[in-house]
Each structure stands twice: as C-alpha cells, then as structure tokens.
Amino acid sequence: MTTDDQYDVVRLLEELAKLDAAEETVERALARTRAALMAAPPCRRTGLRLRSLRVALAAGLLLAAGVWGLTGWLARPGNSMFAAVQETMTHVYGVTYQVRPIRVSFASALPAKIMLLDERRSRSEDDRMIAVVDSKQRRIMQLDLKEKTATIIDYVDLPRVNEFDLIRNLKQGKVEQLPNREIDGKTVLCFRAQDDAGGGWSEERILLVDPATYLPVRIETTFTNAQGKEMMFGICDDFRYNVTLDESLFALTPPKGYRVTTRRQDPPPAQVVVPAKPISPEVRLEVRIAEDKPGPGLTEKIFGRPRSHVLLYLHGEVELSNPDFQSVSVSHSTMPPAYEVVFRLTPAGGKKMADLTNKNRGKQLVILVDGNVLFFPARIRSQISDSFSVSGGITKDEAERIVAGLQER
Amino acid sequence: MEDLLGLLDSSGPRLFRLLKRLTLREDVAQVLMQELFLALNRSPAFHRARDPAAYAYRTAMHLAFAWRRERKHEPVAEPLQSEPESVGSSPLTRMVRLEEFELVLGMLDSLPKLGRDIVVMRYIQGDDYEEIARRVGKTTHQVRALCHKAICRLRELMGERLHSGD
C-alpha cells in the first residue's frame, strides 16, 4: 500500500466493473434460473381480494382449459422446462453413455458406447465397429475391428449424429411433459418427443431427466413403421457428464495395420432460388458491429421475439452500406438443408469487410435494413471478404420475402 | 411468470454479471441468481413495481451484500476465474487485487443503502445518472450528490484503513 492513487476507490470500482463472466457461464446460470422458475409454484398474487371471485375465476379458467384442450394447455410449462433441459445439455461436454438395442426387427445391432468430446466430435464403439464423427470437417472414420479395415467418408451428410445431439436440437413443439417417473427410487422428470422419421416411419423418445441437474439419465427410443408396427426399441443410459476424454480417441487417422478406403460424397451444388440482383436504392442497408455489453457511445437495440430476444449494443459507425454491396440472392443448399440469403460485395466492400472482420473477431456482426436488425447477429469467427451468406433457421418464405424487399425492382 | 421470464431474458446476463462482481464468485452468483428470481416470483411488491427491472437490480444488490455479511468471517473467496485485463498474470498480483476488491466491497456495504446502491449502479454497472435517478426515484442532481458523498465516505474509510495498517 504505497500511494493514494493505487488505492483510489473509484479506480478500484472501475477495475471491479471489468470483471466479466464467460458467455457459457452466463447462459448456464440463465438456464438454471429459468428451470428453477418453471419448477417454482406460481406466485399467489392477484388484485382480487374476494375469495368468491377467485373461486369463480378458477372455475372459469378450468372450464376454458377443458374446452381448449387441457393437455395442450398444460403442456406449455413442460415445453419451457424442456427448453431449460436443452440449454443445459448445450453446455455439457465430455459426455459418455451406453446405447442398448432391446428389440430390433430389421437389422442386427449391438450395444454401443457413445462418447461426445465437444460440439463436433463424437465416437461410438461396439464389439465390431468404431465410428469417429467430426461434423465440422464432415468426415467419418469407420473401423471394422474384425476385418481391420478403415473407411473414411468425406463430405458426408450428417442429419443426425447421436441421440444426445438430436435432443439438444429437437423442436419444442414436438415435446410434451409427462408425469414424473421413478428410476432407482429417484423421481425424474419425463418428456415425450414424437417425430417423423421419414419413409412413413415415426420415432418416439421418452426422455428422463434428473431434476437436480436438468440432464438426461435415460432416453428410450421407439421406431414404428408406416403400418404402426414397432421396429426398434432401444435405451440410452449410464450417462456420465464432464468426463475427461482423450482427444486421440477422436482422431480421424486410421490406426496402423488397417486397410484404408476413402470415399467422397460430394455436396450437391447449391440451387439458386432467387437470382442475384443489386440492392434497391430505396432501402438503407447497413453493417455494424455490436458488443455484448453496454458502453459509452453504444446504442441498445432489442432483436427477436419476446422471451427469446437479445440485447445488442450497437456501435454508431456504419461499416458497410448500399454502395459496398453488389447483389443479394437466395440459394438452397442441402448440406445442411438450408435457405441462405447470399450477399455479394463490391471489391471495395470486400476489402472493407475483410478489415472489419479481421479487427473485430469475437464481436457481433449486425445487418440492419432501414435501422431494423434483419437477422440474428452472427459472431465474427473468421475473415469475410467478397461475399457472405446468412442461413440460420431461415425458411424459404422468409428468405424470399427478405430478398424481395432488398432487391432492385 | 411471463414477466419474470421476460426479465430473465432481457436483464438476466447483466444481473448475473452484477452478482458475480459483488460476490467475486461465479458459483455464488449462480445460486443468488436463482434465489433472486424465486424471491421476485414470490414478491407481490415486484409485481406491483412501476419499474420491475429496477426493482430486480436493487434486490440483486441487497442479496449480494446480505451474502457478503453472512460470510464475513469465512475465508476469502476463491480465485477469480476471469480477470480484468489490467490484472497481471502473476498469482500474487491476482491475490492482492482480489483482496482489494474484497476490501472495497466490504466498505461499500458499510455505506447507507441508497448511497451504496447508487455507487454500485454508477461504477460497477456503468449506468448513467439519468438511469440511476429513474431507478431510485430521485432527481439526477440528488443522485450526483449522493454518489459524490458516498465516494467521499469510501475514500475516508480507505484512508482510515490505510492508516490503521490493516
């Protein structure tokens, strides 16, 4: 303790204000809080003081619930709780679990051990085969332990990798909460998800979740054919979380002594849905940078629907505007199935964008039209130069509508 | 419930960061975050509040300082998991900075509640005086005066502490 300045309280408080929390930690805290709120009894607040009036209101609500379909109405909190489970699952890695086919009618299947290292790498092992999947590289390595052969498949379409990822990405509208169940004397939350498995088949998943951690303890999957006959019933259990997994288990290099076959599944070319046209001078297209936290000179902007919206803190500078864009179009790519709004930049715009994305890695890139945020902001991970596309969760209609508004007529 | 979930979405990240700064512990901030929203859910005053977000921020501060008072005699917090940029990488530097934060937070808690909350909002949250005035129901001028007074008192407390040699 030497100088007054060193211990100036304002300086110390300002230093304290710089103390931040990792995005992951914040998201986990929000998910847990949301889950705790959903599990909490409803608040007993009402402006109605008269008991008879409350009773009448309750009776009315019950009647309404009966008329509108009690099940669907009551399923809503379950969906929110399921959202909390999905959010918790999103932040957990180092996961291992067992898959046990119990009844299989159409093929032979062995119990397998599944390991998930991170959001892109997984490995499954059974007595005959090992499969390592890297969804980012779009590459699978299959090892036949008996034949000592390794098959490497590139650019493979990976619509579903494993049950865990499938549940993480399940649409909530397809999920309902069932009454709690007991496993080994412990009460667990129970959800049912039904989906179309293609070819007339349907799949049903029963997800049992530990109410303390909001993580699955068991997943029961049933596949049924078009005739309604059960074709497969399997169980995933023995879930372990935050396990330290050796990265070498997820390497895509075949072991020594294996005969290697390489296959390449070329991605189909993107199909142009709306041809490229210049940006209309009647719209004001802007690219700006946004921060995660408020700060001097930043403008707060809300984007998204209620309960899923985000707060953006936009910088005042317009980094790119109409003259920097050459054209906009919509294309459809089947890997992954997505409609993309493709922006092509002029040479000068491309240079600006390259500088911008190089200097602002980790920040959010926001596209605004007439001052309104157009897409969910993307975090800058790498340099963008002559063109970029926006695809996340956009339907064909949305993409066409957006582009129709942007293009010159 | 909808209003609380909306508040969680809009203000949750800032509330969590505030709790972390006031407790210096992520695990405690997570627990307090849940406690905060459960308390708000039970609180008729929150549901009647003209500005529910402001009510939530002040409740968060009260919860965090209540936690600090309860653990006054316990060992110092765990090492910071994410450090301000100015903190060097040396473990000793980090430990010293952590002690300084503990010290200033302890002193903050000895201020009158309104002054304490205003200092937290101004210096730890980075809110402007107009926003703070709206939240605490005072004029901007009053808020500036209260903030100045609180900072002077903090400086006095720090001076006393330095001279006592603790």
Helices A70-90 and A51-68, axial angle in degrees (round to 10) = 80
Phi, psi of A338 (to 5 degrees): -160, 150
Per the domain annotation, does A6 fall within a domain? no
Record the pTM: 0.41
Contact B37, A37 (CB under 8 A): yes
Per the domain annotation, does A290 fall within a domain? yes
- Of chain A, the end-to-end C-alpha distance in Å amounts to 70
Query: Total domain count for chain A?
Result: 2
Per the domain annotation, does A18 fall within a domain? no
The residues with which A196 forms a beta bridge, in sequence order, are: A202
Q: What is the pLDDT of residue A301?
A: 78
Separation in Å, CA of A10 to nearest CA in chain B: 7
Closest Cβ opposite residue B12 in set A12, A30, A294: A30
Tell me, yes or no, whether A311 and A368 share the same domain. Answer: yes
- Output the CA torsion sign for A8, A14, A16, A18: negative
Tell me, yes or no, whether A287 and A229 share the same domain. Answer: no
Show residues of chain A in contact with B13, CB under 8 Å: 26, 30, 292, 311
Q: Would you give the DSSP letter of residue B50?
A: S
Which residue of chain B has the CA closest to A17? Answer: B124
Q: How many residues does chain B have?
A: 166
Tell me, yes or no, whether A250 and A296 share the same domain. Answer: no
Tell me, yes or no, whether A115 and A242 share the same domain. Answer: yes
pLDDT tens track for B5-44? 888 888 889 999 999 989 888 888 888 898 898 888 888 8
Q: What is the pLDDT of residue B72?
A: 59
Tell me, yes or no, whether A225 and A99 share the same domain. Answer: yes
Distance, CA of B105 to CA of B119 (rounded, Å): 11
Closest Cβ opposite residue A12 in set B43, B101, B125: B101
Of the residues A216, A240, A264, the one at which a domain ends = A264
Q: What is the pLDDT of residue B16?
A: 92
| Amino acid making up residue A98 | Q
Which residue of chain B has the CA closest to A77? Answer: B1
Per the domain annotation, does A8 fall within a domain? no
Per the domain annotation, does A200 fall within a domain? yes
Per the domain annotation, does A135 fall within a domain? yes
- Optimal mutation site among B37, B80, B148, interface A, most CBs of chain A within 10 A: B37
Q: Do A28 and B30 touch (CB under 8 A)?
A: yes
CA proximity to B28, closest of B71, B92, B85: B71
Per the domain annotation, does A178 fall within a domain? yes
Residue A269, number of CB atoms within 10 A of its CB: 9
A104, A184, A117, A378 alpha-carbon torsion, rounded to 10°: 100
CATH code for the domain of A172: 2.50.20.10
Q: Do B126 and A294 touch (CB under 8 A)?
A: yes
Per the domain annotation, does A151 fall within a domain? yes
Tell me, yes or no, whether A321 and A229 share the same domain. Answer: no
- Are β-strands A271-277 and A325-334 bridged in parallel, bridged antiparallel, or unpaired? antiparallel
In chain B, the percentage of residues whose pLDDT exceeds 90 is: 16
Distance, CA of A46 to CA of A63 (rounded, Å): 20
Residue A398, number of CB atoms within 10 A of its CB: 14
Tens of pLDDT along chain A (409 residues)? 334 444 578 888 888 888 888 777 788 788 778 777 766 655 544 333 434 434 444 444 333 333 333 333 333 344 567 777 877 776 677 889 998 888 776 555 678 899 988 777 889 898 888 989 887 777 889 898 988 999 888 866 655 556 677 777 776 667 888 888 988 888 898 999 887 766 667 888 899 998 877 888 999 988 887 777 777 788 899 998 878 888 889 888 899 899 998 877 666 667 778 888 888 888 888 999 988 777 888 887 777 654 445 677 899 899 999 899 988 888 876 555 567 888 889 999 999 998 998 888 878 888 888 888 877 777 776 778 788 887 665 677 778 888 888 887 7
Tell me, yes or no, whether A131 and A220 share the same domain. Answer: yes
Closest Cβ opposite residue A9 in set B10, B12, B155: B155
CATH code for the domain of A342: 3.30.1360.200
Q: Do B21 and A16 touch (CB under 8 A)?
A: yes
Tell me, yes or no, whether A162 and A240 share the same domain. Answer: yes
Of the residues A203, A229, A264, the one at which a domain ends = A264
Q: What is the pLDDT of residue A319?
A: 92
Show residues of chain A in contact with B20, CB under 8 Å: 19, 21
Tell me, yes or no, whether A104 and A235 share the same domain. Answer: yes
Q: What is the pLDDT of residue B41?
A: 84
DSSP A244-272: ---GGGG--SPPTTPEEEEEE-PPPPPEE
ipTM tops the 0.85 cut: no
Domain span holding position A330: 271-406
Side-chain-side CA neighbours of A322 within 13 Å: the count stands at 13
Tell me, yes or no, whether A98 and A229 share the same domain. Answer: yes
Tell me, yes or no, whether A315 and A242 share the same domain. Answer: no
Tell me, yes or no, whether A145 and A279 share the same domain. Answer: no
Of the residues A264, A290, A311, the one at which a domain ends = A264
In chain B, the percentage of residues whose pLDDT exceeds 70 is: 84
Both tokens of A354, joined, read 């390259």
Closest Cβ opposite residue A32 in set B21, B30, B124: B30
Q: What is the pLDDT of residue A57?
A: 40
